[in-house]
C-alpha cells in the first residue's frame, strides 16, 4: 500500500533521528515482526499493570516500563524495515494497525478495571479512538496520506502523558477542579475523548472537501461523450 506518512508531533524530528540510530545498531536477528509482537505484549502488560495501580506499590512503575517497551517495539518495527529495505507495505500497514487497535483495547480495559477511571468514560474514550483510527485508515486509502499526529500530539506524546498520569495517581488519584472532586483519569479521559471527537470531525471535513474537489461530478459534456 503506497502512501505518504505525515508526522508533525512535537517530538517527531528528534524521535525519527533516534529511531534510525537504534535501527542501524540492532542485531540482524531482531526482525520487524518480533518488534511488532513485543509492542502488543507490552501494551497488554501496560493495561494489566494499570489495573493494579491502586492495589500495589509497583503497578505504576510497571506501567511506565511497559509503555517504554511498547514505544520501542511499535516505533521501531517500521523503521527497521525501512532502514534494511525490507518493506512489505500492505502487510506491514495491516498488521501494525490491527496490533494498535488490540493494544489500545487492552490498555483501556485495564483503565476501566482499575477503579481509577469510570468504565463509562473508558468506553467513550475507546469509541472516540476507534472513530479517529477508522477515519485515518479511510483517508490513507482515499488520499494516500497517513497522518500520525493531530495538533502536535502523536503516540509518543500520549505515552508520556499517560506515564506521568500513572505516577501521579499512584500517590493521589483525585483532583479538585472548579470545586468539584473527581478522579484525575476521569478528567483526563473526558478531555481526551473530546479532543479525539474534535480531531475526527476536523479530519473528516478536511478530507471530504479534498476528495470533493479531486473527484468532481461529471459535466453534461462528459456524460454525452460517455453515452
pLDDT tens digits, one per residue of 68-96 = 999 999 999 999 999 999 999 999 999 99
> What per-residue confidence (pLDDT) applies to 31?
97
For CA atoms 184, 185, 186, 189, the dihedral sign is positive
Give residue 179's pLDDT.
86
Q: What is the mean pLDDT of residues 200-204?
A: 97
| Domain positions in the chain | 4-226
User: Which one-letter DSSP state was computed for residue 182?
Assistant: E
Superfamily classification of domain 4-226: CDP-alcohol phosphotransferase transmembrane (TM) domain (1.20.120.1760)
3-state secondary structure of 135: helix
pLDDT at 220 (0 to 100): 62
pLDDT the model gives residue 224: 62
Q: What is the pLDDT of residue 222?
A: 65
The residues pairing with 175 across neighbouring beta strands, listed in sequence order, are: 182
**Model confidence band, residue 151 (pLDDT cutoffs 50, 70, 90):** confident
- Let me know: does 185 contact 117? Beta carbons within 8 Å: yes
Q: Which pLDDT tens digit goes with each residue over 188-198?
A: 999 999 999 99
Q: Give the Cβ contact number of residue 141 at 10 Å.
A: 12
Q: Angle formed by the axes of helices 119-143 and 89-113, to 10°? A: 170
What secondary structure letter does DSSP report for 57?
Answer: S
pLDDT above 70 (res 208): yes
Q: By the 8 A CB rule, do 43 and 104 touch?
A: yes
- What is this structure's pTM? 0.93
C-alpha cell at 11: 517530538
Contact, 177 vs 113, CB < 8 A? no
Amino acid at each position: 500500500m503506497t502512501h505518504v506518512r505525515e508526522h508533525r508531533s512535537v517530538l517527531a524530528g528528534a524521535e525519527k533521528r533516534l529511531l534510525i540510530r537504534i535501527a542501524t545498531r540492532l542485531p540482524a536477528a531482531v526482525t520487524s515482526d518480533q518488534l511488532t509482537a513485543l509492542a502488543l505484549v507490552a501494551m497488554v502488560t501496560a493495561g494489566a499493570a494499570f489495573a493494579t495501580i491502586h492495589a500495589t506499590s509497583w503497578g505504576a512503575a510497571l506501567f511506565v516500563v511497559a509503555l517504554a517497551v511498547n514505544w520501542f517495539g511499535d516505533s521501531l518495527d517500521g523503521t527497521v524495515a525501512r532502514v534494511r529495505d525490507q518493506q512489505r507495505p500492505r502487510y506491514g500497514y495491516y498488521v501494525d494497525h490491527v496490533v494498535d487497535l488490540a493494544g489500545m483495547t487492552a490498555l483501556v480495559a485495564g483503565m476501566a478495571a482499575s477503579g481509577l477511571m469510570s468504565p463509562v468514560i473508558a468506553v467513550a474514550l475507546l469509541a472516540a479512538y476507534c472513530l479517529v483510527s477508522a477515519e485515518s485508515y479511510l483517508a490513507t486509502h482515499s488520499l494516500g496520506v497517513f497522518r500520525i499526529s493531530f495538533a502536535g500530539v502523536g503516540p509518543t506524546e500520549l505515552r508520556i502523558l499517560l506515564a506521568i498520569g500513572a505516577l501521579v495517581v499512584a500517590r493521589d488519584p483525585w483532583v479538585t477542579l472548579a470545586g468539584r472532586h473527581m478522579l484525575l483519569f476521569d478528567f483526563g479521559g473526558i478531555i481526551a475523548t473530546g479532543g479525539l471527537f474534535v480531531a475526527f470531525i476536523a479530519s473528516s471535513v478536511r478530507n471530504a472537501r479534498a476528495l470533493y474537489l479531486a473527484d468532481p461530478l461529471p459535466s453534461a459534456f462528459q456524460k454525452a461523450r460517455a453515452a
